[in-house]
Amino acid sequence: MDSFMNLAKQGMQAYERSQSDVSRTGGHEYNSPDHTRSTQDRPQFDDDEVVNTASREGSGDTSLFSSALSFIKQNKSAHEEPIDEEGVQHAHRKAYEEGSAGSLSAGSLGSAAAMQVLKKFTSSGSSGGGSQSQLISLAMAEASKLFDSAGGASSGNKQDAVNGAAMTVMKLLVQSKFSGAVGGGNSGGLSGLMGLASKFM
């Protein structure tokens, strides 16, 4: 079985190949003047869009989700840290197969929620052309709902759960060098993420 970083490398290669089709795969996001090469190693989010979507889809006010975005921006070095694949798999199994999310720490609960959303994105193909902003929005929203439905976590609070979901998504995006839109037959980002997601399925 390929290692996580081999999958990330494959995602990067697919992403680079997709650059020749930017007009079809990325639209204005790729081609806007402010989308320079220097920003491509970090996903660029519309903070207001992310917070509003997460607030609408999840359970919590906007400050819960805006704080999570601040958290991942303030901890950029953590984006490069390896994801604990076994830990995430275990957390996802506990939360979604055994129904015992409340036995997890808030951070682990958040990572399980992120994997659940990623699986939905990749299994549904184009997912309506969902963007990376939608991915992180829905992961945070899922974490907030999972925390509430579980009646809390074994340790940590709801903010920790949402932070955990946001950081897990950011690690996946950065380490697969995923950028632009999820979806579309030519989306290198999607194929890269599907390879990563397969580790958790």
110 within 8 A of 170, measured Cβ to Cβ? no
| DSSP H or E run through 31 | helix 28-31
Mean pLDDT of 123-142: 76
* pTM greater than the 0.75 cutoff: no
From residue 123, alpha-carbon distances to 77, 118, 197 in Å are 30, 8, 9
Question: What is the reported pLDDT for 152?
Answer: 96
Secondary structure E strands in the chain: none
Question: What is the reported pLDDT for 176?
Answer: 72
Q: Beta-carbon neighbour count of residue 80 at 10 Å?
A: 10
Question: What is the reported pLDDT for 133?
Answer: 86
Q: Has residue 4 got a pLDDT over 90?
A: no
Q: Has residue 134 got a pLDDT over 50?
A: yes
Mean pLDDT of 140-154: 97
From residue 171, alpha-carbon distances to 7, 63, 199 in Å are 13, 22, 14
Task: Of 2-11, 127-136, 157-166, give the range with the top mean pLDDT.
Answer: 157-166
Residue 103 is classified by DSSP as G
Q: Has residue 54 got a pLDDT over 90?
A: yes
Task: Of 8-12, 142-146, 191-195, give the range with the top mean pLDDT.
Answer: 142-146
pLDDT (tens digit per residue) in 55-82: 999 999 999 999 999 999 999 989 888 8
Helix (H, G, I), strand (E, B) or coil at 145: helix
Q: CA-to-CA distance for 179 and 189, rounded, in angstroms?
A: 6
Mean pLDDT of 101-126: 87
125 within 8 A of 178, measured Cβ to Cβ? no
Q: CA-to-CA distance for 144 and 55, rounded, in angstroms?
A: 9
For the chain, percent of residues with pLDDT exceeding 90: 47
User: In 3D, which of 116, 172, 193 has the Cα closest to residue 147?
Assistant: 116
